[in-house]
Chain A
């Protein structure tokens, strides 16, 4: 029943974020596309690109918050003695939290874009399923590092407000540093589609960057492993 516990712990954060993201996307796209004619494909594609910028910000906010909690936070709350006395390994405990989080972050990427697809199709706008898939995969695949970073921070920092502050701070810092020195490897620019958008058609073009996305997912995986090691060594 550890999945159930993980669900109960993240339920309100998840559902609130899902509702906010989905409603925002539906309303924003519906309103904006109402000002366009179906023939204006470039403008419509630019609308989708702009929407993704907003989605990225909200999605990152949501997944960082979803990564918070865990046994370290439970220590401050006083329930770690109960969780740690269960006959399950610490790796198992964190693994389930990660698993639930990954499912939730994927859902938070898929549902809003599915809604956009629905709203645009109903509005007879020239939305392409391939573009939607592109945006979703970039977000959920490349963006997995943000969730992983949040999990790592929550395994190191105990405070209820300190932990998310550190996580957001790191995300911002990383974006700025990468942009300054390692611009081609900035995950922010990957998830927003900045690297792949055609400046003339505003379509995400070319082959899907499997290598880049997988590389970031590996980085996320590494951070998960480090988090597990940290938790295993920590004293409660």
Chain B
């Protein structure tokens, strides 16, 4: 099977005046995967997504989605036929009823599945004749997601999909994502819910202040990132631990905590050579990887 990235960018940049919202982004999102896009508020996630969908023009650099150039209006429009997108604020037309909204959305896409739409309408318990403006936030979120899930796109882009959902809703959302992925839909979603990302994502991209800091599979992260807690008979010298893979070293008296993105064995060896009293290697969860990555900057 030839690997063609569903999303690929080359030095994608967006500046507002002298502030760069997105800096020379080189993203490559693979097909048949669930890729999570993490970053603090204002890190540039939504800006990136909007550039991909032609709502914002890049300052420089280029990108393709499903092989189509994002900066070419015609190609971008063609690409949008097979890409489903749900924006962060779950946009819906307040003056339409639930049923009108579904009929409206379905008229644009040949990949619309009426049976799925009907099933989700029942599952989400959405009142068909109610105007969208009078729906609760949770129901609006579900309807916005329904418009994407009732389709069978090649790529699903979701910006903070679980916002506005209760735990049951979130569980259902994740199950739907997993089901879509099993059907061959590539999924690219941004989220602040690290616990959810850890469960379902295959690949993670961490964006901080417009730069891509981490771009790896979750399996790789789990196998390589380690926290090594050391106790020495004397206050240790941090400079001894400037080894490849070490991201951050913190010392407090005789204790030292090393955060490494790989090469933990070398850290342990160095600690042993320096007569460490206690060496404890622990795994690092995605939350800590994320926090350490954005703090470092």
Contact = CB atoms under 8 A, between A and B. Distances in A.
A82 B55 contact: no
A8 B73 CA distance: 28
Interface in B78-109: 78, 80-81, 85, 87, 89, 91-96, 100, 103-104, 107-109
Interface bin, chain B: 20 to 34
A79 B93 CA distance: 7
Interface string A64-93: 000000000000011111111111110000
A233 to B, nearest CB: 9
Contact of B53 (A8, A78, A85, A89): A85
B50 interface: yes
A182 interface: no
A79 B104 CA distance: 14
A37 interface: no
Nearest to B84: A85
Interface string B132-157: 00000000000000000000000000
A79 B92 contact: yes
A39 interface: no
A4 B73 CA distance: 25
B56 interface: yes
Contact of A5 (B53, B91, B104): B104
A1 interface: yes
B57 interface: yes
A81 B47 CA distance: 12
A147 B183 CA distance: 49
Contacts of B80: 85-87
A9 interface: yes
A1 B96 contact: no
B77 interface: yes
B92 A82 contact: yes
B109 A81 contact: no
Nearest to A84: B55
A235 B50 CA distance: 10
A161 interface: no
Contact of B78 (A1, A82, A84, A87): A87
B89 A86 contact: no
Contacts of B73: 89, 232
Contact of A236 (B50, B78, B92): B50
Contact of A78 (B81, B89, B96): B89
B104 A1 contact: yes
Contacts of B164: none
A232 B55 CA distance: 10
Nearest to A12: B95
Given A86-B108, A87-B78, A87-B108, A81 B56 contact: no
A87 B91 contact: no
A235 B57 CA distance: 7
Interface of A: 1, 4-5, 8-9, 77-89, 232, 235-236
Interface of B: 50, 53-57, 73-74, 77-78, 80-81, 85, 87, 89, 91-96, 100, 103-104, 107-109
Given A5-B104, A88-B108, 12 more contacts: A1-B108, A80-B55, A84-B53, A84-B54, A87-B80, A87-B81, A87-B109, A88-B77, A232-B73, A235-B56, A236-B50, A236-B55
16 contacts: A4-B104, A5-B93, A5-B104, A77-B94, A80-B91, A82-B87, A85-B53, A85-B80, A85-B87, A86-B108, A87-B80, A87-B108, A88-B77, A232-B73, A235-B55, A235-B56
